[in-house]
Structure 1
């Protein structure tokens, strides 16, 4: 018995459904992961080490595993990533020691590395197998919308579950995490049933191709460094991620910690983080749209500078707030500006890249961002413990503002290009 090929319309439906099942559990846990680690007795210094592990694993595996989906097939890699996600979640929720949490985050890093790209690649390949001219932009755009809705709705449900606390055998923070693990099982089943490929290569040939792809990773890194060395503008843009990533530690990792200090405990903070995170994702989209309007008026590079400076400034404001209302308000403004910075930074990167090196440029940008985040966690975790969470937030915000200066080469280049367009040609 042969199965009929998947149509482009069916592939889009699968893409949207699996995007939801992939990201809804992230929404369930986004506000409680940090708080759960603290609830189980970990210090801020230990927290920094624990959460740095994921970034280091992704940094080390992103390029070596990048070709696995091409070598083995999209479906096997998606199934493997879903299995690792389930195992990492189980290890995390059952951990009560520093070592257990480290292992969980190491596995989470493996999951993130495997999960980077194969679903979208499967959708594009499947749609183009029916008709190479079929536009896939709409499906990918809808998937982005579903991703945001999944995280926002998951965060709302998480906050409600924490406030409700229906299972007294578990702490209020543990219940949403167990619900997320249940959704990991749903996601694994959905991937196994819905993702169909005409040919996969889970055999010696496929594994040899995967190993060959992994061996090319050092070459890609060398090519990336060579590309950065030849372009001062591109090097400056990529280095912005060092400062941006440190700022992200403040409003993504330390925000729940500071909220717990002001709200009276981890459970109270967890109940608040649900609706706050949902609102933040909505404002992230608003910020992205506002960046498009601003870039048409003042230019892409100046919009990037403005977003970076204001984002860092409001991170500092977060650290200065002494009440929950002020902290949450500053956080929401910060997240809006975080949304504003992303599209313009990506636009500036794409301006510097060419078809032959675009993937390398984006990979280098991603690797530097992940590495900076992990190193920043190792520094800011002990710093927050020795001083205060508020002081760590202030320092991270002030440091992130410095990154705005690295947009100056792009501003000069943009100004030069505008002048070249407006100046009349010599007679």
Structure 2
């Protein structure tokens, strides 16, 4: 076993992992609902599929969070890639509700497995090379920018491919006939995503070098899951800064839920038709990912300008909240000025969230040890999903107009205000014990 990778190599491999993981998911953003509709699924069934994704991810988030702390980052990431490969194949070729539902549920399981191992690997590698005080924000920012770029590229490509196939009047019919109706033009983006997932798994297995871990059994891992869940739930209670990071993630989840639920309908009402509204929303989604990538790229500069990572989070979340509130106050108007202001607000939401993420995670990684790093990231992801789901339920019953937008903006503003008081945090990093039943854990994986 050679020594730890240098920082530049680790950063490059981390960015590549981010691109390969998120590009297939971006490919499905535009065509997935339309593909399910083409398969004869009612909107209630489609909503059930997406609920299966969210519920599976939420239920498995903490139990799987500690797996990479025990089994290894590479093993868990490869498993996530294989689950996504299966999910995308089922979504592309499935024709029955149980096949499509299983596909979205497996994608939720992959989401739970993937929320932390790549980032934990990068932080472990950098700290093994440069010590626990190593600068992390730049690499985290580049990974976040790469994620946004992959999602933006995937969204455009996933929306364009079926449209391009439809330009030739016989192409779609021939494709469907040759495959007995299994492959439709709308199936092509998820099938392309499945091919990318194969490259992702191969790259993870060959490029993510990490030290050997203590031998363990499946029984020992499963026996340690309750300890992992309990330690994850206690994590925020032991450290005020970690608690603020977790609560801020929940506030961001609320903002994203409001955007995802309300923006498509607003785009359709603006264009006057659901088809053209879908095209406009795809363009908006792509622009949002680009803004998030720019914000992530500017995160180190924002932290230097603000004077600290905590103040950078305050400024970034405040910017995002102002964008969502701007969307709220323009919701009742359709004039040209309102449209421009709304588009500006949409961009500010993603710009601010993109800038906040690397600073939040830089603070988090300096507060937890390697043995609990993936668990901490899972707690953060769980908070985002749960608060987002709750916001979605509330938004769904509120009357249309400014109020649903203002709800998301208010929650996000509350998340920003958590960072007004910048306290001192002298205590050492906190270990969120992964699976205590596994013997031989040293707490330093790198």
TM-score normalised by structure 1 residue count:
0.73
Q: Quick check: 2:141–2:358 contact (8 Å CA) kept in 1? A: no
Match in the other structure for 1:256: 264
Query: Does the C-alpha gap of structure 1 residues 121 and 185 become closer, same or farther in structure 2, counting only changes over 3 Å?
Result: same
How far the C-alpha of 1:258 sits from its partner, in A, is 4.4
Q: How does 1:190-201 map to 2 (within 5 A)?
A: 190-195=203-208, 199=212
Are residue 402 (structure 1) and residue 410 (structure 2) matched? yes
Superposition pairs for residues 164-203 of structure 1, below 5 Å? Answer: 164-165=164-165, 167-168=171-172, 169=176, 172-195=185-208, 199=212
Write the distance in 1 (CA, Å) between the matches of 2:141 and 2:23. Answer: 18
Is 1:223 paired with 2:245?
Answer: no
Q: How much has 1:398 moved relative to structure 2? A: 1.8
Unaligned runs of 5+ in 2: 177-182, 425-446
Question: 1:121/1:300 Cα in 2 relative to 1: closer, same or farther (>3 Å)?
Answer: closer
Q: 1:106, CA displacement in angstroms?
A: 1.8
Q: Which residue of 2 aligns with 1:368?
A: 383
For the residues of structure 1 that align with 2:368 and 2:345, how far apart are their CA atoms?
38
Kept in 2: contact 1:301–1:344 (CA 8 A): yes
Asked whether the 8 Å contact 2:116–2:377 carries over to 1, the reply is: no
Number of the residue aligned with 2:161: 161
Listed as ranges, the matches of 1:9-24 within 5 Å are 11-24=10-23
Contact 2:391 2:408 in 1 (8 A): no
Per the alignment, residue 33 of structure 1 pairs with 32
Task: State the SS of the aligned residue for 2:111.
Answer: helix
Structure 1: how far apart are the matches of 2:101 and 2:340?
A: 29
Give the 3 Å change call, closer, same or farther, for CA 240–183 of structure 1 in structure 2: closer
- Cα gap change, 1:379 to 1:46, in 2 (>3 Å): farther
How big is the shift at 1:293? 8.4
Bigger shift: residues 52-61 or 74-83: 52-61
1:99, distance to aligned residue in structure 2 (A): 4.5
The answer to whether the Cα contact below 8 Å between 1:152 and 1:281 also exists between their aligned partners in 2 is yes
Aligned residue for 1:424?
A: none
1:207 equivalent in alignment to 2:218: yes
Q: 1:369 to 1:16 in 2, by over 3 A?
A: closer
Measured after TM superposition, the shift of residue 105 of structure 1 is 2.4
Q: Secondary structure at the match of 1:355?
A: coil
1:286-309 alpha-carbon deviations (Å, 9 max, x no partner): 455496588569x65863674354
1:315-367 Cα offsets, whole Å, 9 max, x none, are 32574465999769735532423331464587579879983699677654432
Which one of the candidate residues 270, 279, 289 is aligned to 1:281? 289
Residue 85 of structure 1 aligns with which residue? 84
Deviations along 1:114-142, one digit per CA (max 9) or x if unpaired, are: 1122234444555677x555967455444
Stretch of structure 1 that moved more, 284-293 or 182-191: 284-293
* CA 1:143–1:234: 2 relative to 1, 3 Å: closer
| Gaps in structure 1 of 5+ consecutive residues | 418-427
Contact 1:67 1:210 in 2 (8 A): no
The count of residues paired between Structure 1 and Structure 2 equals: 400
d(CA) in 1 for partners of 2:124 and 2:414? 41
Q: How does 1:301-380 map to 2 (within 5 A)?
A: 303=315, 306-307=318-319, 309-316=321-328, 319-320=331-332, 330-331=342-343, 333-341=345-353, 343-344=355-356, 355=367, 363-378=378-393, 380=395
TM-score, with length taken from structure 2:
0.70
- How far 1:371 moved relative to its partner? 0.9
The equivalent residue for 1:152 is: 152
Deviates further, 164-173 or 369-378: 164-173
Distance apart, 1:237 and its partner CA = 7.2
Is contact 2:318-2:416 (8 Å) kept?
A: no
**Alignment partners' CA distance in 2, 1:281 and 1:191:** 24
Per the alignment, residue 441 of structure 2 pairs with none
Q: Alignment RMSD, CA only?
A: 4.5
